[in-house]
Amino acid sequence: MRYCFDYALFLDNSMPGRLKDGLMAIYYQGVEEDFRSVFYDTGRTYPLHSRDYICIKKAELYKYYSGPADTLWGVVYQKGLGYSQGFDIVLSKNINLINLKWEKADEHPGVPEEFMH
């Protein structure tokens, strides 16, 4: 049984196989940044270690938060697959189920307009 004490993200991978080399990155709300450079910041990435879920403390998530919306934005990088499409992380929920979809090799997820204030 999977149990997180504070906050959980469950990742449903649309591609066969585990996210064994996967890294998840969370973006600061309201800050424009190069989406790929975030994956080089070990303080902002979360290794998936062949799991389909990740537990993060809410206090950790709130360091990316600037309000008033309660939604953050994340992307997963999987070696051999590339970058996932961006997904919402809703802070008002204790559990988020995220259906990962993958970009074509020549595309990137891009940051949604609402995060570019």
Dump pLDDT digits (tens) for 16-72: 655 677 888 988 877 777 877 888 888 888 888 777 778 888 888 888 888 777 888
Which has more confidence, 108 or 64? Answer: 64
Does residue 78 contact residue 66 with C-beta atoms inside 8 Å? no
**Using 50, 70 and 90 to split pLDDT, how confident is the model at 107?**
low
112 belongs to a structural domain: no
27 belongs to a structural domain: yes
Residue type, 45: T
Q: How many domains does the chain have?
A: 1
109 belongs to a structural domain: no
Comparing C-alpha atoms, which of 57, 98, 103, 55 is closest to residue 77?
Answer: 103
Q: How far apart are CA 46 and CA 48, in angstroms?
A: 6
CATH code for position 65: 2.60.40
pLDDT value at position 84? 86
12 belongs to a structural domain: yes
31 belongs to a structural domain: yes
59 belongs to a structural domain: yes
Q: Please check the confidence at residue 86 and state whether its pLDDT lies above 60.
A: yes
114 belongs to a structural domain: no
Range of the structural domain that residue 51 is part of: 8-100
Question: pTM of the full predicted structure?
Answer: 0.76
Residue type, 112: P
